[in-house]
Structure 1
Amino acid sequence: MRRFPFHLAAILTAFATLGIAGITLAAPTPPNATGAVTGTGPRTHLDIVMDARLGGLKFGSISMTAAFEGEGYEAKSVVRTEGITDHVFRQVFDLTASGGRTDDLMQTARYKARNIDQDNIQLIDVAYGPDGAPLVAADPPYDNSDRVATHTSQLRNTVDPLSAMIIPMAAPTPDACDRKIPVYDGRRRYDFVMSFERMSTLEDAKGYEGPVVRCNAVLVPIAGYKRETIRDMRRDPMPISVWLAPVTGANALVPARIEVSTPLGTLVARSTRFEVATGLPARASAK
């Protein structure tokens, strides 16, 4: 079996276009070594399911639940291939993240990943300190001798791929797309450069129906890749379109539909369920 092409895998991971995801957001605390957050305010619960197809064939699915509480967040996501694709290149990403938020960006405190393919299991643990710089533990350790080195200045105040796709804005507007998101997954440093395309309305069967803002985006590699990979990705980027929908009561936007142009065809992820419940009681504080 072939290994899953990283260029495509990185985009799919960052946009949570495949698999099962769960996100819990809690009240703000300063980012710390443990990434712990607590919260007492009313919650908004989000439940999303998405179906992903590549060139019309079943490629994967997305199931996301979220509980927004105040300004902090804890996240869990499993991203996986499904269908016939799973027989060609199987990939599973088991991700967790926690932290806070600013006016413009989610702010990671702790990020963990368990990445599985047909040959390997890779564990990554990234903790952000008070200065915004990440400390990374990888098991097995990465061999980065043939990769472009990352520098502390490039990594400070980055966000993980899971948190990158939560946009802290209450309503879909052109401004939601006007951003460059600095992303770090524990090895690779890249930017998601987004731009406004148009305001729109989605009517996905059994999924999200309502106003969205459609953004164009590209992944721009910075460091942590092989030099030839950076060259190839910059020369031939995979255009991305993402439709951001509001999570009422949470002051957040999340993807309701995603399209990625790949060498294998267009990957399309559409919501088949998009449910929001607001004003739920706060969760009990841990004792």
Structure 2
Amino acid sequence: MRRSDDRPSRFSPFAAAAGFVALTLAAPGGASAESLRVGGVYAVTFSGVPIGRATFSLVADGGAYSVKIAMKPAAVGKVVAAGVFKAEAAGWLHDGSVYPARFLLDSVDTDMENRVSMRLADGAVKYSEAEPGLGRMEERVPITDSVMAGGILDPVSSAVAFVADPGSKDVCARKLPIFDGWTRYDIKLSYEGTQPVDLPTYSGTAVVCAARWVPVAGHIPDKPSVVYMKNNRSISISYVPVGRSGLMVPYSISMKTLYGTLNVEAEDLKMTGPLTASAGQ
């Protein structure tokens, strides 16, 4: 197995898409008939070329949530990479916040495998194991206890927004403190505008947020990709409300990279359960 710093120098749009889609969301068996459910299919393109498709599901039931995402290459994407990406998270929704309890990631590409197992409680990481391990540790910003507490989110749980006024620009007035198993970073959101959404089973308005990636720990400060992403002003995430439930989920993601622009956009979203009647029903 390759170490994370021994990966090929060529850029893999599929791998980048898989990683960034994780800023998006199947359902576990046994969920009650009153569960709130969201399911969707997302198209992934790189510089306008289709490279993958992602499936997404969210179940919220009795204050608990479970989300899963799967992605595989499609069309031209099979030439770029022949891998698959799966991630899932579960936790609790209360006091207007998301509290993850576990996170699992399993990603297999043409010549690398990435796996993460994480447990969280009370907004702090209690256990984390990631493969492959990081190298060049003397060059990295140390990951200390202080940066691993205080409302930490895993990448999948960070996609679930819980706001008092669903559909409002409040969804953009947030900073997301994320740990992915290797690095700690923040995603800072700010309000950018709205856009209409008209899908086969969902119609409404998406709230568009500008996003900034801010490295905190575990990264190599002068690494070109880190420097580029830190200064990247071309990242946006748009959210749609899940009816009147207070939840919002991503509709689209756009990110400029060193090699082109990555776009992830929903082809369809289906929402069922309590308080979802106003969301495309």
TM-score, normalising length from structure 1?
Answer: 0.79
Which amino acid is the alignment partner of residue 62 of structure 1?
A
Residue in 1 that maps onto 2:104: 112
The answer (yes or no) to whether the contact 2:99–2:123 under 8 Å persists in 1 is no
Asked whether the 8 Å contact 1:72–1:100 carries over to 2, the reply is yes
Match of residue 87 from structure 1: 79
Give the deviation of 1:228 after TM superposition: 1.8
Residues 248 and 278 of structure 1 are in contact (CA less than 8 Å); yes or no, is this contact kept in structure 2?
no
Q: Shift of residue 248 of structure 1?
A: 2.0
User: What is the aligned counterpart of 1:233 among 205, 229, 236?
Assistant: 229
Inter-partner Cα distance in structure 2 for 1:262 and 1:202: 25
Q: Identify the match of residue 266 of structure 1 among 251, 258, 261.
A: 261
Q: Give runs of aligned pairs for residues 1-287 of structure 1, distance below 5 A.
A: 2=10, 4=12, 8=16, 12-16=20-24, 22=26, 42-130=34-122, 132-143=124-135, 145=137, 146-156=139-149, 157-169=151-163, 171-204=166-199, 206=200, 208-229=202-223, 230-235=226-231, 237=232, 239-248=234-243, 250-279=245-274
Instruction: Provide the rounded CA distance (Å) in 1 between the counterparts of 2:265 and 2:44.
Output: 7
Mapped partners of 2:197, 2:80: distance in 1:
32
CA, structure 1 residues 23+241, in 2 after alignment: closer, same or farther (shift >3 Å)? farther
In 2, the alpha carbon distance for the partners of 1:130 and 1:185 equals 17
Q: Which runs of 5+ in 1 are unaligned?
A: 27-37, 281-287
What one-letter code is carried by the residue in structure 1 that aligns with 2:227? Answer: R
State the percentage of identical aligned residues.
24
In the aligned structure 1, how far is the partner of 2:184 from the partner of 2:214?
9
8 Å Cα contact 1:173-1:199 kept in structure 2:
no
Q: Please tell me the root mean square deviation across aligned C-alpha atoms, in Å.
A: 3.0
- TM-score, normalised with respect to structure 2: 0.81
For the 8 Å contact 2:18–2:71, the answer to whether it is kept is: no
One-letter identity of the residue aligned with 2:204: G
- For residues 258 and 52 of structure 2, what CA distance do their matches in structure 1 show? 17
1:150, distance to aligned residue in structure 2 (A): 0.9
What is the CA deviation profile of residues 40-69 of structure 1, one whole-angstrom value per residue up to 9, with x for unaligned ones? 682122121111222221021121122221
Whichever residue aligns with residue 124 of structure 1, its letter is V
Letter in 2 for 1:215: C
Letter in 2 for 1:69: D
> The residue matched to 1:136 in structure 2 has which SS?
strand
CA contact (8 A) 1:97 1:112 kept: yes
Report if aligned partners of 1:114, 1:122 keep a CA contact under 8 Å in 2.
Answer: yes
Number of residue pairs the alignment of both structures matches:
262
